[in-house]
Amino acid sequence: MPNSLKATLRGSVAATLAGLTALAAPTATAEGIPSYNLYGLPGLIDMPTARVAPDATLSTTIGGGGTQGRGTLSFQITPRLSGSFRYSRISDFSAAGSVDGVFYDRSFDLRYQLLDEGDLLPGVVVGLQDFIGTGLYGGEYLVATKEIIPGLDVTGGVGWGRLGSRNPFAETGNRPEELLGEGGLPTYDRWFRGDVAGFAGMSYALTERLAFSAEYSSDTYESERTRGEHDDDSPWNFGVDYRFDNGAQLSLYHLYGNTIGAQVTVHTNPKDAAVPGGAESAPVPVSPRAPGAASDLGWVTADTSDYRSALNTAMTNDGLVLEGLKLEPRRAVVRLRNPRYGQVPQAIGRTARAMTRVLPASIESFVIVPVVNGMALSAVTLQRSDLEALEHRDNAEILARTAISDGFGRAPSAFDDEYPRFGWAISPYTEFSFFDPESPLRGDFGVRAKASYRPTANLVLSGSVTKRLAGNLTDIDRQDDDALPLVRTEKARYAKEGDPAIEQLTLAHYGRVAPNVYSRVTAGYLEDMYAGVSGEMLWKPVDSRLALGVELNYVKPRDFDQLFGLRSSETRTGTIPDFNGHVSAYYDFGNGFHGQLDVGSYLAGDLGATVTLDREFVNGWRVGAYATVTDTKFEDFGEGSFDKGIRITIPLGAVSAQPSTERSTFAIQSLTRDGGARLKVDGRLYEQVRDYHQPEMAKSWGKFWR
């Protein structure tokens, strides 16, 4: 097997495992991380504190006691603002939606630090608990924490909702108490309303590893007592936390006067994670020219094929591909394909170093044009004399002297022997379904075989076939009384009948139709459930944080066996429209925050918009969330009311210590519904283009000399 194909195979396998490895292995240190409570928030046991995790801390907690079991994912969005998603299991609980006496609940929290702790004043945090959900855990609080002596923290606060249910001392208006059957909607009519009660507690760190805590809880667990078997004999809870060197926390609790509880908390911090790579070989040094050599133009009339061969060898050693080369007396233009480096400036820097060692001394200007799927994405112009003078200086100096412009019309033609090109890979795959009350976690595991054939640089014929080895996605048996055509809720039937399955088989063309404009047309079996044609145009200036795009799709549903047939667009609840599409806007807000807005028509014909916000880090990590709201009524959408989710993207290099363009994205989203469902198409333009434009390259320019 060729080395390039071996690398593809290794990358495919590793990308599948990278995310789970990175999330499971705590990478934060204990310094600055507070204790986390049973709600997965900085707190004592059940009650919150005003402690705040370091910026960008990503924490996962799993714990519970008695009838309660909770798993929480929390993220410190900014130094003061944090958000949490919680999935809870309550046994012996009778309510709409419970299955065999077990009730599963999803909830979201927000916390904001109002005051930093000072010499005299405590730190103060305000929080919304379960502000989007059924309201089962709904409560708001204002809490203050102060370190009295080293290691001794004292906390006091006031709460509303379930945090205001024990011995309330005031009332602030009427508060609805019923559970919201579908959940998923902001409960703003309840915030800071109803009874108000106080809570308090303290914690003492006996050592750096061991801490004890006690609290007076203002939560009587009224919902659990009235709907189930919960016993609350005492407002006092006690706990002990053990902290490991990597920041992980193991906690044991005595709860409600009669129950033992336990919890494990692990942390990682994308902000502090190393930039991928570091274990790769060092780049070759810049080769300075001899004095006076720059005036020698004797090579111009000679055969230049040797220069191509030498440069190709030098770039291949760095895992880069020379696709084209144009030599002029004072300038050289390189057509670069980068299959290795997720940090694009590293690919640019290594190419430039190789050019200094191979090309004639008279060539002063280097123009490097990176291409993806045949599209010239930018033209990076460097002066050879700057490379010679600044090799051992700060990266910012070479960036200031680098020109990054549009690559439209700048790339040399690809060498005749570069195409056609064939590639293939075999890798494991996993697919999950979350939050079905009858089985909160389902999944399939199997093998995926992929292949691609590129007759030209811009034309890609690709496909993938899957074979399930184990799993239970076929066991989903939910037929919602949906007012929309069934565009996604028949997923279980596809999983059951499509084994093996042609997951995707398409012919795609990518192009540059004008300055700042990119195009894509994809036809064939676009995804596991739909076939058709998808067309896209993207406007993205090379130096702009803003991009605009439009996509139009013509689709037909595939046969359930996921082979070569199509089925009728008629479903028992309506007809799947032939056309769907969106107008999209993308914007880099700076400070690592990136937003996307998609407005248009979804698969079921519903009209609406999807808002996505990610926090992105220089090392390639991303943590974000999205929400889709359409003209589908919340009760017609079903459980959750509208589509929303959390996604975490992890670069393969974060766990392999080797440079890589591979990334794994893990999405935590509600059970698949028909409302707000969008076509899945590989190769959408924006993610291909943005990494090679000036705003993104400037963020990771520190890798230029690596």
Report residue 503 as tokens. 């997951």
Q: What is the pLDDT of residue 1?
A: 40
Return the bridge partners of 439, or none: 436
Q: What is the pLDDT of residue 20?
A: 43
List the helix and strand counts (H, then E) for the chain. Answer: 11, 35
Q: What is the pLDDT of residue 183?
A: 67
Contact between 602 and 630 (Cβ < 8 Å): yes
Contact between 659 and 340 (Cβ < 8 Å): yes
Report residue 185 as tokens. 């909607």
Residue 504 burial (CB count, 10 A): 22
Q: What is the pLDDT of residue 347?
A: 97
Does 421-696 match 34-268 at the fold level? yes
Using a 10 angstrom Cβ sphere, with 0-12 exposed, 13-18 middle and 19 or more buried, the burial of residue 1 is: exposed
CA angle 64/67/69 to nearest 5° reads: 35
Return the bridge partners of 152, or none: 149, 204
Instruction: Give Cα 248 to chain centroid, integer Å.
Output: 23
Q: Measured between alpha carbons, how far is residue 283 from residues 31, 349, 391, 551, 706 in Å?
A: 35, 9, 12, 41, 6
What percentage of the chain exceeds 70 in pLDDT? 93
**R_g (Cα) of the chain, nearest Å:** 29
What are the extents of the domains in the chain? 34-268, 306-418, 421-696
Question: How many residues appear in the chain?
Answer: 706
Of 326, 496, 369, 434, whose CA–CA distance to 670 is shortest?
434
Contact between 171 and 193 (Cβ < 8 Å): no
What is the rounded distance in angstroms from the CA atom of residue 366 to the CA atom of residue 357? Answer: 12
Q: Which residues of the chain have pLDDT under 50?
A: 1-29
For the domain covering 34-268, report its CATH number. 2.40.160.40
User: What is residue 49's DSSP assignment?
Assistant: -
Residue 501: its H or E element: strand 501-514
What is the rounded distance in angstroms from the CA atom of residue 247 to the CA atom of residue 394? Answer: 34
Domain 421-696 belongs to what architecture?
Beta Barrel (2.40)
Is CATH 3.30.300 correct for 306-418? yes
Q: What is the pLDDT of residue 21?
A: 43
Q: What is the pLDDT of residue 478?
A: 59
Q: What is the pLDDT of residue 284?
A: 92
Report residue 50 as tokens. 């005003």
Per-position DSSP letters for 251-274, written without gaps between them: EEEEETTTEEEEEEEEEE-TTTSP
What is the rounded distance in angstroms from the CA atom of residue 184 to the CA atom of residue 477? Answer: 22
Q: What is the pTM of this model?
A: 0.91
Report residue 98 as tokens. 């419970």
What dihedral do alpha carbons 666, 473, 265, 28 form, nearest 10°? Answer: -20
Residue type, 564: F
Report residue 166 as tokens. 């024990």
Region of 184 on the Ramachandran plot (φ > 0 left; ψ -120 to 50 alpha; else beta): left
Residue 575 burial (CB count, 10 A): 12
User: Which residues touch 288 (CB under 8 Å, ≥6 apart)?
Assistant: 356, 388
User: What is residue 188's DSSP assignment?
Assistant: T
Contact between 523 and 533 (Cβ < 8 Å): yes
What is the rounded distance in angstroms from the CA atom of residue 1 to the CA atom of residue 10? Answer: 12
In 257-364, beta strands by DSSP E = 259-268, 321-327, 331-337
Half-sphere exposure of 475 (CA within 13 A, CB side): 14
In 160-285, beta strands by DSSP E = 170-172, 185-186, 194-205, 210-216, 236-243, 249-255, 259-268
